[in-house]
Amino acid sequence: MAIVYGGDYNPEQWPRETWAEDVRLMREAGVNRVSVGIFSWAKLEPEEGRFDFGWFDEVLDMLHEGGIGVCLATPTASPPPWFAATYPEALPVDESGRRLTHGSRQGFDPSSDVYLAKALAITERVARRYHDHPAVRLWHVHNEYGCHNARSYSAAATAKFRLWLRERYGDLESLNEAWGTAFWSQAYSSWDQIHVPLPTPSIPNPAHVLDFKRFSSRRLLELYRAEVALLRSIDPSKPMTTNVMTGSHPDIDLWEFAEEVDVVSADHYLERPFEHVNLGFAADFARSLGGGKPWILMEHSTSAVNWQGRNRAKAPRELLRNSLSHFARGADAIMFFQWRASRRGAEKWHSGMVPHVGTDSKIWREVCELGARLGELEELEGSTVTADAAILWDYQNLWAQEHEAKPTDDLNVQQVLNTCYSALWRAGVTTDVAHSEGDLSGYRLVVVPALYLTSNRAAENLKDFVRGGGTVLVTPYSGIADENDAVYLGGYPGAFRDMVGVRTEEFYPLIDRTIELTSGGTGSIWSEAAEARGAEVRDTYLDGTPAWTVNRYGEGTAHYLTTFVDGDTLDRVVAAALSDAQVEPVADAPAGVEVVRRSHDDGRSWLFCINHLDRDAQVKTATAAIEVPAGEVVVHAESEN
Ligand code: GLA
């Protein structure tokens, strides 16, 4: 079977004459799959209850005749103008209480029953009409849930939030206890007194806000479930997915979504400053969400996006490097947003596979080259990636840290994650992304970046991992509060104190300064009045306070940092942790050359060598020296093949 290759196809943006040319060009580029219907609701149902499927029949037939398979979308991410006009109460409400209007997309309140009814009505029509169309391979449910409307502060949301809370806590006494409402006289005596967190005179209750974020993510999951249940009742056989953002877009808990998709599909766009390193994280995360199974890169860009303020066009060969890095990290489908760059509308400055300038272009030539290369890599389909190291990432921890009242605004958990992941990337180690409560038994090293919110289960999970012989590297501001955002007592990091062998009395955020370390390195953002209680001290502040400690715990080892160390120091700490864990880089490669292995169970394996440098490089393994020209990707079949 061919590797899936293609992108979002939005023929409704173009006159009919273009469609035949589209299919011809798709074939020329080696495209074998497109996603259609994502934003077609207004054209499929131009007035409430009046449907027009003729043009869509034509599109699907034409694609099928051209040998192009289809990811068929439910068009529910962008309700038409009639929806907003007829049901204004179904529009989303922002956090200041203002109701938004129609005019862009995702113009619906996730808690609106009328939205759900209308979304299911169009979904049912589409499913009944096309479930047995020969072009359709997979259901692409909705599009990026919660990309713009993840949290709605409507009356409907308040009503559903109350129900959700009743289910979660059972009675008000438990809710009051969990939320710590004894503080500031907030104890609730009736469910009706609870609202979604709207503007309030001072700092809102953190546990209330955290639960609202949990609720909002679950609400979107309920919408996904409802569409899937309907689709399955009509078409039980085809796989279903919804495309998620694994690189950014932090408002939905992807661990919960991942449990409900048949195959993980992810979208990724380069963002400064981490660009291709963040791409590695996003791809590793997509693979990890599916438990290591091949995944679909549903969208990425051929060149510039339009939404970053200053939108960088990709350099020559960057498209190929990016796509093949996703492929190296386990994607079995490489797709773009979108087929043709739009002439009109909000995304007219977003690149596509067919750029404004046409086919005499860098983009088109690279699109065709990529299609040809994926064609040659057919035998890799279904192969997987193995990682000995994992880094933890958890949305609920992120949401808790978004709260405004904390030791310092300078500590950003996403930055800590990026910094730690970058160090592993530089070390040439392939990394999975894991949940703190997930199965860690397959790993030898687990990195714990600012896991402020550590549930009791997560704490036990990590301690079991280390007791059993694993190595952890824990950064500051981890193990601080439980799942209800209540601080662990007796000295920080409360949940991990015995594991790391350190007790901290107070935090001393570094305000506009860094601190020097005995090793010659520096720390920034954060420092602690830490005392080693059993741990070996590897580096200190100049006053002797531990900066980096290592503790033997059970059969394993726990590294702990009490400040955010500079890049070189972090590289040394990571190298020490990797060595304790006996984790090796995939190959011997110069800095800036990415190497990832994909393999089949039968022993066939391939090394992807991606040279991000502007000079030629050599990658060495035990059996080969692989020359990788500047900016190029070499896929090296290893000797057992
Ligand atoms: C998201 C959406 C697409 C498009 C791209 C632009 O991924 O799913 O419809 O808006 O962003 O980068």
The CA-CA-CA angle for residues 39, 42, 43, to 5°, reads: 90
pLDDT in tens, 118-132: 999 999 999 999 999
**Mutational pocket test of ligand 1: of 299, 300, 307, 347, the residue with most ligand atoms within 8 Å of the beta carbon:** 299
Counting from 1 in the atom list of ligand 1, the atom nearest the Cα of 245 is: 7
Closest Cα partner for 380 from 420, 327, 433? 327
Q: Is the CB of 269 under 6 A from ligand 1?
A: yes
Catalytic annotation on 379? no
Pairing outcome for strands 69-73 and 33-36:
parallel
Distance between Cα 143 and ligand 1 center (Å): 9
Q: What is the pLDDT of residue 641?
A: 52
Classify domain 389-581 by CATH number. Answer: 3.40.50.880
Q: Write down the pLDDT at residue 248.
A: 77
State residue 226's pLDDT score: 99
Q: Specify the pairing of strand 522-524 against strand 564-565.
A: antiparallel
Tokens at 577, concatenated: 């942790």
Number of helices followed by number of strands (H, E) in the chain: 17, 26
Distance CA 369, CA 341 (A): 19
* Predicted local confidence at residue 273, as pLDDT: 86
Ligand 1 centroid to residue 337 C-alpha, Å? 6
The residue type found at 394 is D
Of 491, 399, 397, 498, the closest CA to residue 449 belongs to 397
Helix, strand, coil proportions of the chain in percent (round to 5)? 35, 20, 45
Active site residue 28: no
Determine contact, residues 609/588, Cβ cutoff 8 Å: no
pLDDT per position as a tens digit, 506-565 = 999 999 999 999 999 999 999 999 999 999 999 999 999 999 999 999 999 999 999 999
Phi, psi (deg, nearest 5) at residue 188: -90, 135
Domain range summary for the chain, segments of one domain joined by + = 1-31+263-381, 155-208, 389-581, 593-639
Those residues whose C-beta lies under 8 Å from the C-beta of residue 569, and which sit 6 or more positions away, are 517, 519, 521, 522, 539
What fold, for 1-31+263-381? Answer: TIM Barrel (3.20.20)
Helices 54-65 and 16-29: angle between axes, nearest 10 degrees: 30
Residues of the chain under the 50 pLDDT cut: none
User: For atom 11 of ligand 1, which residue has the closest CA?
Assistant: 337
Distance CA 293, CA 263 (A): 8
